[in-house]
Structure 1
Amino acid sequence: MLNPHTLFTERLKSHMKELNRYLKYILTGHLAIAMFFIFSALAVYYQKWLEQLPATFPVALIISLLLGLVATHSPIQTMLKKADIVFLIPAEYRLKGYFRRTLIYSYITQIYLFLFVYAALAPLYLTVYEGKTYGLLFLVLLIIKGWSLVANWWMLKVRDSSMRAVDVIVRYFLISAIIYFFIKQELILLLMVTVMLIGLLIYNFSLSKRQKAINWEVLIERDYVRMRSFYRLANMFTDVPHLETSVKKRAVIARVLTGAIPFQQNSSYTYLYRLTTARSGEYFGIYLRLLVIGALLILFVPNVWLKLIFAILFSYMTFIQLMPLWKHHTTIIWLDLYPVANNVRQESFIKWLQQLMFVQMLLFAVFLLIIESYITGGLMVIAAVTFTFLFVPRYVSAKISGKKT
């Protein structure tokens, strides 16, 4: 006989084991150290910025929008598997206790992100407003967060995805408005918006009651997408053999990257790695995102030397996250049939990484030259040459051969 409590306990143990398996690599990796340095530096400049905060800065609006986002964002970790759509559907009427426990688990795990954003915004709030109201706001938001999680669960029974999207948007603006009016102490407007939010929750509940069955496909797909995102993150630090990646055609980008490659046997892996970078759902996006984020930090950080350090750090982060490209095709046996020596494959991979890193670091150098000086841009060019042609080949060769760097 199916026991909801036993099922939840087993699924939770399996889920935590899978998370811990990769978290130890993430928390001790090079990227984690780099991110710690970046957050530490940003915290220092955040404090300096608060000391010179303009009187016209919309503190209440910014805080309400950010806290509203983390309060509204309430994904539910059901820990369901694809096979459950066959084996558990007949016992759906007995799984109320299981799903109730997943809601509690989801709420507890999301409190960490909520606390992080809340603590990060505390100095900004205390610069303008009194601390007592901010503490009370925390308690109010804990309740709203719970409401939002339950409302999200109710709406997951609705089959229409556009209706679910509209509900999230409306709920976000209502929660943000509640936070804004709470900060501004506009009690009448606060009461009105609160009544509107309660009305929306009642409407969510009525919609869920019309749907007798749980939307298993959506629940399983959302869990699958969340775990795939986690595996992508873990794959930056260690090999994740069961990681499934999405592929997009990106014909124009693929043509630009592969068009000049000569039709020769020794160019087989050059073509493969360039095409994989263009079409993969992870490498191309990672490269562009870190390039943009790095450029924005370089633009807004006031210290010249810190700009240079950030440029090098983001280049290093990009390099580390592109390293899994070497093992991207490990599970494809057809590559073993290529009549190409392994050293040619390694040389092709290293050369492609060098080209990617040199282009990114050169763009950072041009950006530094424009917003700072020729000296800063020149130093970045020297760093690009050193990193690309000295560090990259040595590091990649040692990693591939299994040696320590």
Structure 2
Amino acid sequence: MNSMHDIWGQRFFHYVNELQKYMRYVFTGHLAIVFMFAIGAGGYAYSEWLKEVPLNFPSVWIVAIVLSLLLMKAAPTTLLKPADIVYFLPLEDQLPNYMRRSLTWSTFSQLPLPLIAMIVALPLLKATEVGTSIEYLLVILLIIALKGVYVRTEFNVRIANDEFIWPDRVLRLALAFLVIYCGFLWSPAVFLVGIIVAILYAKFWEKKARQFPFPYEQFIELEQNRMMRFYRFANYFTEVPHLVGSVSKRSWLTFAMKRATFKRRDVQSYLVVRTFIRTDDTFWLWLRLTTLSALGAFLIPLPIVSFIFVGALAFATAVQLILALEGGVEFTMDQLYPEEQEKSQNKAVRSLVRKLIWLQAVILLLAALPLYGLSLIPMLIALIALIIGEATIRLTQERTTEF
């Protein structure tokens, strides 16, 4: 294969097939029902809230911040592989053609989120009497233009000066915020000025990037990390053989870790707590599910819907943490002890999961207070999370004992 055009086509076809292979396990009928309830409850709460929103509500600030954040991060999708460091050398004169198609795909694949956010924000802007239909259309065109320019800017910044990536993102965040905010409050002409400034800024980095060789290692690592994030997400729904775990020290959570002792009964508890805190998959899994539960308790005004939502996530938290903490196949030194290692590990895992469910329930109680006040409902939300979490722990233990 002697054409970068053919190589990109083959890579893209393989990439799409890889996504489809795992996404069919993610978007199942059960998840569709969850989405239907979540979107329905959220849409109902949003529409009811819009009937009472005051005209002085800072809708422009919120819309400008959200859209700016979604436009800011514009990492390119290159589909590069480790072997390309050598394989692409004879075809390096065709690399711009490959990257052009890569940046085009990166732009279109990142557009849905900011466009959906803008569509969701339209009723809020109308309710607070901000902007006109023409300005809304101009903002949508601005989003499309800025996303394309920002993707190319970040691509060139990574080539010219990879240490300037986050300062560059902050600059682009500030530019997008000022353009959207001032465009709504002052004049639609600000949108055109913002696009011109963004293009000039992008041209500056494009000119600077021509002075440096293409950093294959950096873009290959970026691509591998991006795919690994997708595999970790898909692994919540099905087994992914490509998944490679990662760990972080998290010294700021040292106070929550058990201290080492010389008692054999503390071995599994010591290991399990450290495994949870320092393993990225398990730690971020609990944090994500707890954050989603807290947002549901904070935003969903219908108690019955909130009960179902919180209960479902409490069940997911308990099940996935137990499976993740007990599913490791790595050899550890405690397996050399002449004890019932599996039994003591199961006990330590369930003890930790029980504590995490209690912590989640306390967070849910605090999150529900602003919406429901000092009433019975916040306590019921926390109690449901506790009951379902405890029942899941016990039923999982009984099922394991049967096997």
* TM exceeding 0.5: yes
What one-letter code is carried by the residue in structure 1 that aligns with 2:357? M
Quick one: structure 1 residues 401 and 352, their matched pair in 2 at CA, closer, same or farther if it must change by over 3 Å?
farther
Report the 3-state secondary structure (helix = DSSP H, G, I; strand = E; otherwise coil) of the residue aligned with 1:95: helix
Aligned to 1:167: 168
Change (3 A) 1:33 1:261: farther
1:165-222: CA deviations, max 9, x gaps? 22222222222322233323525655554443333122122212222x1121221121
**Structure 1 residue aligned with 2:353:** 353
How far the C-alpha of 1:42 sits from its partner, in A, is 1.9
Instruction: Please give the residue correspondences for 1:71-86 in structure 2 after superposition, counting only pairs within 5 Å.
Output: 71-86=71-86
Q: What is the deviation of 1:387? A: 1.6
Pick closer, same or farther for the CA change 1:64–1:385 going to 2, 3 Å: closer
CA distance in 1, matches of 2:178, 2:225: 30
Could you say which residue in structure 2 is the equivalent of 1:184?
185
CA distance in 1, matches of 2:85, 2:238: 31
State the 1:83 CA deviation. 2.7
**1:366 shift after superposition:** 6.5
Counterpart residue identity of residue 243, structure 2: L
State the secondary structure of the residue aligned to 2:159. coil
| CA distance in 1: counterparts of 2:289 and 2:62, whole angstroms | 24
Which residue of structure 1 aligns with residue 138 of structure 2?
Answer: 136
Rounded Cα–Cα distance in structure 1 between residues aligned with 2:190 and 2:103: 31
**Partner SS, residue 56 of structure 1:** coil
Aligned length: 399
1:211-360 matches, cutoff 5 A = 211=212, 213-251=213-251, 253=253, 256-259=256-259, 263-264=263-264, 268-326=267-325, 328-330=327-329, 332=331, 339=338, 340=340, 342-360=342-360
Q: CA deviation at 1:123?
A: 1.7
CA distance in 2, matches of 1:140, 1:71: 10
How many Å separate the matches in 2 of 1:326 and 1:202?
A: 49
Task: Classify the secondary structure of the residue corresponding to 1:282.
Answer: helix
Query: How far apart are 1:79 and its partner, in Å?
Result: 0.9
Q: Is the 8 A contact 1:181 1:189 kept in 2?
A: yes
Distance 1:400 1:179, change over 3 A: farther
Give the alignment's Cα RMSD to 1 decimal.
3.3
Residue-by-residue CA offset, 1:323-354 (whole Å, 9 max, x unaligned): 44146522558787665354554444344333
Deviation (angstroms), 1:291 = 3.0
Matches of 2:402 and 2:94, distance apart in 1: 53
Distance 1:346 1:34, change over 3 A: farther
The DSSP-based 3-state class of the residue aligned with 1:330 is coil
Question: Contact conserved, 1:239 with 1:324, CA < 8 A, in 2?
Answer: no
**Unmatched 5+ stretches in structure 1:** none
SS class of match (2:172): helix
Q: How does 1:118-137 map to 2 (within 5 A)?
A: 118-127=118-127, 128=129, 129-137=131-139
Q: Is the 8 A contact 2:322 2:349 kept in 1?
A: no
Shift of 1:243: 1.7
